[in-house]
């Protein structure tokens, strides 16, 4: 195996601590008789343990070794893979190097582990190449990455030519991208300055826009702006403001699900992380995806000054915001920053330039070119939401009058009319009623 990995050219930069490279070193030591059987066995089992952890994380099955090698191809960023991500398979001398490496990977796919197993009295390699995983709930692993990687693994298994493998891998890069930014749909920002800046969120909500009852005008305005962004036409930063529980955050999550296959990705960030905005933009600006930086429940108190930094990043700094980045935010405040009576022009204040102070606060909201209001529904609209949600729940079989009477009682005890209140009522009802047989 070490003789194969040493031949890699394009993929030569694979992390030395990766499972592949650690196995490669183990096989080199075994071939050169540098270690005792006990040491080699212990090191092999350590890497098998890592492989099983990876398989659990991504729901791999059948041949874990093949799945792992396909995962390595899918996540290794090189100049070749990044170009393939943008334009697919390209002509040029680099293809000769790519085909050389894919021939190496095919040999790794077909690697014979029987000799080392016989000598060390092991069967772990046989087990991982004929693996039957325990059926897991979808939320326990990253299903999106799992399905894509296992499909690539199967294509390489079935291919009988280097040209076929080259096309399969290049098509994969073109369709799904490469690395964590390509394979995952959402990310959070790491607070640890020593770790990775962006960490994939492996279990995202599967909500779609149709799940949000009502607010058709608001949803369409959000869709129109997002489609312009996806299609590389001019688009605006978006602020969704209004009453709590009306579906602002749900709308943005649904937008991600609707346009992920079109290259949309989302990065969630909190106020205390705004100092990393420039780093985030630098990390994603040259990638072949559209990134929405998502700020949920955004608002500032008078004493908080992070909004000034955000203003400069959105619009006003020397370096312009790249075309593949937009900011979508939700807030209960239309102007984002808490205003007081002292901000009013007819109130006494120690601030001589009172109007300048007010404009300073308003200018952040003005940097969002699209502002969409989500407001609490009327009683009639609330009832319509309740009825629509109840129809989606097969265990709820109440007549309309009883359903709405109970919904009214629930609303009075739980914060008034809102989509969130309606959903909580339906969840409560579904949890207390007996299930239909």
- pLDDT (tens digit per residue) in 1-20: 889 999 999 898 888 999 99
Residue 312 has pLDDT above 60, yes or no: yes
Residue whose C-alpha is closest to residue 54's, from 75, 83, 78, 27:
75
Give me the CATH topology for the region 200-374: Rossmann fold (3.40.50)
Q: Are 166 and 91 in contact (CB under 8 A)?
A: no
For 66-127, the DSSP string reads HHHHHHHHHH---HHHHHHHHHSS--STHHHHHHHHHHHHHHHHT---HHHHHHHT--HHHH
Q: How much is the pLDDT for 141?
A: 42
Q: How much is the pLDDT for 341?
A: 42
Residue 352 has pLDDT above 50, yes or no: no
Residue 231 has pLDDT above 80, yes or no: yes
Percent of the chain scoring above 70 in pLDDT: 83
Q: How much is the pLDDT for 278?
A: 85
Q: How much is the pLDDT for 97?
A: 86
Q: How does DSSP classify residue 273?
A: G
Q: Where are the domains of the chain?
A: 2-182, 200-374, 379-432
Mark residue 311 as left, alpha or beta (left: phi above 0; alpha: psi -120 to 50; beta: remaining): alpha
Which has more confidence, 185 or 194?
185
For 242-306, the DSSP string reads ESTTSSHHHHHHHHHHHHGGGTEEEEE--GGGGGGHHHHHHHHTTSSSEEEEEETT--B-TT--H
Percent of the chain scoring above 90 in pLDDT: 28
Q: Are 277 and 313 in contact (CB under 8 A)?
A: yes
**Poorest-pLDDT segment among 128-132, 274-278, 296-300, 383-387:** 296-300
Q: Are 408 and 422 in contact (CB under 8 A)?
A: no
Residue 140 has pLDDT above 60, yes or no: no
- Write down the mean pLDDT value for the chain: 82
Residue 66 CA to residue 74 CA, distance in Å, equals 12
Mean pLDDT, residues 328-346 taken together: 64
């Amino acid at each position: 195996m070490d003789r194969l990995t040493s031949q890699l050219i394009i993929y030569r930069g694979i992390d030395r601590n990766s499972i592949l490279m650690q196995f490669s070193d183990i096989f080199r030591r075994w071939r050169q008789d540098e270690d005792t059987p006990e040491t080699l066995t212990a090191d092999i089992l350590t890497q098998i343990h890592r492989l099983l952890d990876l398989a659990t994380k991504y729901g791999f099955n059948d041949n874990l070794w093949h799945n792992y090698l396909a995962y390595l191809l899918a996540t290794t960023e090189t100049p070749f893979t990044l170009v393939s991500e943008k334009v697919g398979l390209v002509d040029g001398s680099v293809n000769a190097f790519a085909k050389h490496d894919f021939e190496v990977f095919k040999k790794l796919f077909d690697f014979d582990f029987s000799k080392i197993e016989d000598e060390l009295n092991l069967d772990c390699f046989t087990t991982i190449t004929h693996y039957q995983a325990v059926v897991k709930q979808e939320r326990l692993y990253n299903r999106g990455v799992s399905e894509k990687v296992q499909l690539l693994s199967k294509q390489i298994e079935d291919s009988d030519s280097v040209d076929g493998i080259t096309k399969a891998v290049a098509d994969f890069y073109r369709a799904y991208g490469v690395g964590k930014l390509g394979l995952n749909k959402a990310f959070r920002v790491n607070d640890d300055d020593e770790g990775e800046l962006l960490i994939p969120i492996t279990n995202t909500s599967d909500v779609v826009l149709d799940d949000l009852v009502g607010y058709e005008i608001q949803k369409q305005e959000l869709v129109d702006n997002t489609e312009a962004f996806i299609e590389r036409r001019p688009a605006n930063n978006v602020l969704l403001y209004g009453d709590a529980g009306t579906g602002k955050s749900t709308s943005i999550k649904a937008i991600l699900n609707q346009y992920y296959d079109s290259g949309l990705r989302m990065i969630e960030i909190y106020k205390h992380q705004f100092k990393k905005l420039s780093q985030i933009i630098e990390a994603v600006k040259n990638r072949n995806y559209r990134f929405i930086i998502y700020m949920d429940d955004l608002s500032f108190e008078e004493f908080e000054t992070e909004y000034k930094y955000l203003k400069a990043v959105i619009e006003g700094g020397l370096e312009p915001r790249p075309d593949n980045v937009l900011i979508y935010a939700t807030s209960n405040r239309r102007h984002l920053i808490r205003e007081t009576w002292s901000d009013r022009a007819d109130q006494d204040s120690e601030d001589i330039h009172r109007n300048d102070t007010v404009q300073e606060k308003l200018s952040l909201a003005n940097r969002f070119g699209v502002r969409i209001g989500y407001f609490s529904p009327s009683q009639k609209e609330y009832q319509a939401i309740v009825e629509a949600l109840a129809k989606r729940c097969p265990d709820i079989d109440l007549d309309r009058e009883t359903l709405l009477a109970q919904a009214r009682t629930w609303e009075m005890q739980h914060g008034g009319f809102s989509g969130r209140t309606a959903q909580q009522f339906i969840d409560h009802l579904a949890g207390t009623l007996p299930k239909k047989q």
